Structure 1
Amino acid sequence: MSDLIFPMTEVLGQPAVRVQAPDGAQAIVLLHGGHVVSWIPAGGREQLYLSPQAVAGPGQAVRGGVPVIFPQFEQRGPDTSLPRHGLARTRTWAVESSSRAKDHAQLTLALDDNAETRALWPHSFTLELTVSISGQRLDLELYAHNPGETSWPFAAALHTYLAVPDLSQARLQGLEGCHYVDSLTGGETVEDHPEKRFSGEVDRIYAKARNLLLRDGPRRLAIEADQLPDVVLWNPGPDKCAALKDMPPDGWQHMLCVEGGNILEPITLGPDESWSGRQSFTLLAS
């Protein structure tokens, strides 16, 4: 582990880093999965949903926070022989660097291929997740590098579970006019609502979505992405939520996944090529 200026803690029985900015903003990141499990803006409240029944351990993905999805999304590919959502979210990451300035704090974790990952996916890779906090803003940047001699395609996503007090009161703006794939029906169409409302299960991938705004009571949360052109909206709804062992039956009413991704058109990295994508969240004044 490189020099770490932030305190270590433990969440779900796993070592974690508490990233703290001088202005009071903080985030907690598990080494397991490179998984952000908490983000509290300066003077604010928790913005991420972490299931009270979440578990973490070898081979287990954490329910909530921000799972890192790589090199495939769900079972869409590009390599459907891999576990669902790939292999990054259940591996142990290492601290690469940490820094703090007057109004900013940053942590970078890294994951490299090893014999275990190559048995599942026979490629050399390096992933880095950089978590930056400042005031009312959270930036998550995922970087992928191909240090090997053969090309490989990949999909990626930052599977962000946002906390909402009441899903039925949440409103999401910015998707009107975007083409989307509905994973529940298998259909495809164009979003014609200027403001999305939610009453239960939703599972959609929107293409070429840009700036979004989540309205949730007095909260206004701006969501931006760079090089992550797709947006996944997901909520299990009451029936599927009740079947999830790591989520309470009413958990679906208190979360909404709004995740930036590169899913519908996977990227191919040649030898020594790299890619990065970023998703940012800014809590706006009410």
Structure 2
Amino acid sequence: MSKNLFGQLPAVTLCAADGAQATVTLYGGHLVSWRSSDGRERLFCSRESSLDGSRAIRGGVPVIFPQFGARGAGMRHGFARVATWQLAATGDENGAAWAEFTLDQDKLPAAIAAAWPFAFALRLRVAVHGQSLDISLNVHNTGAQPFPFSAALHSYFAVDQLEQARITGLQRVRYSDDTPLDALQAKEVLQFADKLDRIYYQLPGPLQLETGGDTLRLAQQGFTDAVVWNPGAQDAAALADLADDEYQRFVCIEAALIQPDVLAAGAEWHGSQQLQFI
């Protein structure tokens, strides 16, 4: 483990014995780089993203909590991705390098804390080894009142060309997008022709992302849903922190809990995702 800077942001880099690496910024508890043991970068980060703590990072794996998107009265996608986390522990286990990061109510800026009147503690764990990466998020209600929350790991996976990306494992899964009615995924293979923004509910099993030579297996627990997103050319041009051509270089597949869960006082929730190139 080494401490360094990612842009202007303090960061921690985990190094497994086989050469696999992961870098997490304390700002947002944000996984910004994952290099498998063959040295390949597996995540996308925009070259236009602000890396000074002034706004959320575009790319990597933002932690979404306690609100998904604009589905609530709070900050879009919640405050976890723009708060400063603490490095809690690091270690090595069975060849994997791991680190844990924490965020609780006492560490929030006053304005954000006032808008979220619940006591909580988040714990994020990242472990890297070989061709695999494991991420887990634990939510603990440390107060006396229940609170509702949603959560997601908003992963941006690097691809050489968007048109080569293919996702399997979603056939016959219910989804919603910009149409008024839900639908079932009819095709066995999901591909990208233009903008795509869908929430798939109650995944039956792991997904696979083929990126033109590589296949990434995505398994998750606790997170019941998945969001598949790419802005397409028109929406990418409207994003100040994304270069116009960069939409062709990533696919977002998010492990998510979309419908808010209610966490009782003293209770904990755990979500995890296992990523492996096969």
Q: TM-score range by the shorter chain?
A: over 0.9
Deviations 1:239-274 (A, max 9, x none): 1101111111011111110000000x3211111100
CA drift of 1:208 comes to: 1.2
Query: Could you tell me which residue of structure 2 aligns to residue 270 of structure 1?
Result: 264
CA drift of 1:187 comes to: 3.0
**Contact 1:160–1:257 under 8 Å retained in 2:** yes
78, 81, 84: which is aligned to 1:89?
81
Q: Which AA in structure 2 matches 1:198?
A: F
Unpaired segments ≥5 residues, structure 1: 1-5
**Contact 1:146–1:273 under 8 Å retained in 2:** yes
Residues 1:229 and 2:221 aligned together: no
**1:47-58 alignment to 2 at 5 Å?**
47-58=42-53
Q: Which AA in structure 2 matches 1:279?
A: Q
100, 104, 115: which is aligned to 1:112?
104
Query: Could you tell me which residue of structure 2 aligns to residue 127 of structure 1?
Result: 122
**Contact 1:22–1:102 under 8 Å retained in 2:** no
Name whichever of 39-48 and 137-146 sits farther off: 39-48
193, 202, 208: which is aligned to 2:187?
193
Matches of 1:148 and 1:237, distance apart in 2: 42
Matches of 2:54 and 2:148, distance apart in 1: 23
Q: Which AA in structure 2 matches 1:167?
A: L
* Other structure's SS at 1:75 match: coil
CA drift of 1:102 comes to: 5.1
* Other structure's SS at 1:64 match: coil
Count of residues in Structure 1 that have an aligned counterpart in Structure 2: 274
**Contact 1:59–1:91 under 8 Å retained in 2:** no
Query: Could you tell me which residue of structure 2 aligns to residue 3 of structure 1?
Result: none
Name whichever of 54-63 and 31-40 sits farther off: 54-63
Unpaired segments ≥5 residues, structure 2: none
CA drift of 1:134 comes to: 1.3
Deviations 1:71-109 (A, max 9, x none): 010011xxx221100110000000011002451110000
Structural RMSD (CA): 1.1
| Structure 1 length-normalised TM | 0.93
Q: Which AA in structure 2 matches 1:202?
A: L
Deviations 1:111-158 (A, max 9, x none): 011344321211111011100111111001000000100000100000
Q: Which AA in structure 1 matches 2:251?
A: L
Matches of 1:45 and 1:187, distance apart in 2: 40
Matches of 2:11 and 2:48, distance apart in 1: 18
Q: Which runs of 4+ in 1 moved over 3 A?
A: 56-59
Residues 1:205 and 2:199 aligned together: yes
Matches of 2:175 and 2:123, distance apart in 1: 29
**Contact 2:175–2:185 under 8 Å retained in 1:** yes
Amino-acid identity (%): 39
Matches of 1:40 and 1:58, distance apart in 2: 23
Matches of 2:237 and 2:162, distance apart in 1: 16
Query: Could you tell me which residue of structure 1 aligns to residue 9 of structure 2?
Result: 14
**1:1-286 alignment to 2 at 5 Å?**
6-58=1-53, 60-76=55-71, 80-101=72-93, 103-114=95-106, 115-182=110-177, 184-209=178-203, 210-263=205-258, 265-284=259-278
**Contact 1:36–1:65 under 8 Å retained in 2:** yes
| Structure 2 length-normalised TM | 0.96
* Other structure's SS at 1:119 match: helix
